[in-house]
A and B are shown apart, each in its own frame.
Chain A
Amino acid sequence: MGDSKKLTAGGNWLWEDSRMMLPEHKLAQNEHQRELRRRERKHIDEAEWADIAMAFSASLQLHKLITIRMFDPFEETRIEGVVERVDQFGGRFMVDGEWFPFHDIEGAVLADMEDN
């Protein structure tokens, strides 16, 4: 217990260094904390879909830079680039050579619109 970090203001070392936790219990705690941060899929209404479609179309046809917000259960993810292809039948689109599913889209805005 001779470690100066134990005296750091606002630290938690006294407890982190002295606790007795089974590795399996720590894993369960971590998994639980992760689950607490799980996000719900955002509902997108018709007006929002129209905005997204317009931004996609401008990016695809005019090669404009676009920022697309994608659903992830645990973190905020964005794709930035130019929409290169749209596969309506397969329900996917391509940015910088990589395919992404339409159903994970939560929003999209053209880079020049984002600046305004």
Chain B
Amino acid sequence: MPGKSRTIFLVDCQSFYASVEKALNPELEGKPVAVAGDPERRSGIILAACPLAKAKGVTTAERLGEALSKCRDLVIIKPSMQRYIDYSMRISEIYESYSDLVEAYSIDEQFIDVTGSLHLYGGDPEALARMIQLHVKEAIGVHTRFGISDSKVLAKQACDNFAKKNESGIYVLERERLADSLWRLPVNKMFMVGSRMTAHFERMGIRTIGDLAQTPLAQLKQRMRQRFGKNSDVQAEVCWRIANGIDDSPVKPGTHMGEKSVGHMMTLPRDYGTRDELKVIVLELCELVARRCRSIGKMGRTLSVGCQGADFDRPTGFSRQMTLPYPSHVTNDLYYNAMSLFDRHWDGLPVRRVGISVTGFQTDDQYQLVMDDNRERLGALEAAMDRLKDKYGDAVIMRAVSKTAAGQAQDRAMKIGGHYK
């Protein structure tokens, strides 16, 4: 079995944003606390609620008003995204003091492969987990939960299904005992299975993770082909492997260095209905994407543009991609091509969300020169702007159109992930 001898932790921070806020402000001790987005910009939902708030019925992703109706003394705090990133990085550094194999999976979940260092701490994974848990609690003030197993996919499922629910926050999922633990759970508790997939599985007579794991792979492929077509073989095998805990993927510290695509998406504060307004957003997004490409030393060859209408239940808009005339990380190159896609495919209906992304990377240190090449001259100008922004912040220099009513760059410069820094 691949990875049989490994010891992998998936460590999750409980109610991360709310826990950071409580750790920073001792006056919040004993009070129900929630971190919630900005109501004026339609993002007034609960991003994180502390266990005290959850005990009163407050749930993540519900509207602020609903949460307050359940818990009148709920303390609402606006998110400070940069602070949460800083705390997440500090937690990474703590994990790195126990193993050099640490991989962030999200802002509040990280994998640690302790196979090589476990013997230094007595050889007992649970004891080491307790030691790290205490270390993080004392240094950062955040409670962590540990899923432990011999692969990443079992460690993740151990954490989500067991460690988050037991008192110690630590759970070892043994491969030999899957039949008595993970396999007993309903199939919707499996990693990567959402409500639609659950419904499909249930119609196929698969109710538990064990039902899925014990269905012979060939049979599962055949049944999924009947439902999703002949291209579903890979999906069937991925699901079957997850159910059986088969995953030899490494814990990869540098995983974020090798980005395969760079994209930015913006949800607009109101419907944008004219081409002139949307041009501003496309340009601002191209600036962000081009800047990120330059920061990782890459030029992209394939450009994707997507627009969505205001009513997400009745989708309008488009998502299209094109090959650029030459690989680039210059804003104007991306912008002119993005607008040509936009003009060809926009149906003229109001737009609420716009996304731009670039893939097909090559390094930017060597490239073939072409006629009408913007990369040398504009690339140097944009590199100078990048240095200014790195030093003084994103709002220090921006295009004049970003100062119009349609522009979002100024507001976005103050935010991370749509919430204030």
Contacts and interface: CB of A to CB of B under 8 A. Distances in A.
A32 B105 contact: no
A14 B260 CA distance: 14
A9 interface: yes
Contacts of B52: none
A15 interface: yes
B234 A4 contact: yes
A15 B152 contact: yes
B277 interface: no
A62 interface: no
Nearest to A9: B248
Nearest to B106: A20
B248 A21 contact: no
B232 to A, nearest CB: 6
B18 to A, nearest CB: 18
Contacts of B106: 19-21
A12 B85 contact: no
A18 B88 contact: no
A28 B292 contact: no
A30 interface: yes
Given A1-B192, A24-B82, A33 B152 contact: no
A90 interface: no
A97 interface: no
B238 A15 contact: no
Interface string B106-133: 1100010000000000000000000000
Given A24-B85, A33-B257, A11 B292 contact: no
B85 A2 contact: no
A44 interface: no
Q: Which of A15, A19, A28, A32 has the most CB of B within 10 A?
A: A15
B264 interface: yes
A32 B248 contact: no
Given A12-B250, A14-B247, A25 B234 contact: no
A7 B234 CA distance: 8
Nearest to B258: A16
A20 B104 CA distance: 10
Interface in B144-172: 152-153
Contacts of B295: 27
Contacts of A61: none
A21 B104 contact: yes
A3 B192 CA distance: 14
A13 B81 CA distance: 27
A94 B125 CA distance: 56
What interface size band does chain B fall in?
Answer: 35 or more
A1 B190 CA distance: 14
A29 interface: yes
Contacts of A12: 249-250, 252, 255
B104 A29 contact: yes
Interface in A20-60: 20-30, 32-33, 36
A10 B85 contact: no
Nearest to A10: B248
A3 B234 contact: yes
A22 B247 CA distance: 25
A113 to B, nearest CB: 31
B256 A6 contact: no
Contacts of B259: 26
Contacts of A29: 89, 92, 104, 256
B57 interface: no
Contact of B296 (A7, A11, A16, A30): A30
Given A12-B255, A26-B256, A26-B259, A1 B238 contact: yes
A3 B103 CA distance: 22
A3 B295 CA distance: 28
Interface in B203-238: 231-232, 234-235, 237-238
A20 B16 CA distance: 15
A3 B262 CA distance: 19
Interface of A: 1-4, 6-7, 9-16, 18-30, 32-33, 36
Interface of B: 2, 81-82, 85-86, 88-89, 92-93, 96, 103-107, 111, 152-153, 192, 231-232, 234-235, 237-239, 241, 247-250, 252-257, 259-260, 262, 264, 292, 295-296, 416-417
25 contacts: A1-B192, A1-B234, A1-B238, A3-B234, A10-B250, A11-B249, A12-B250, A14-B152, A14-B249, A15-B111, A15-B249, A21-B104, A21-B256, A22-B107, A22-B416, A24-B81, A24-B85, A24-B416, A25-B88, A28-B86, A28-B88, A28-B89, A32-B89, A33-B253, A36-B253
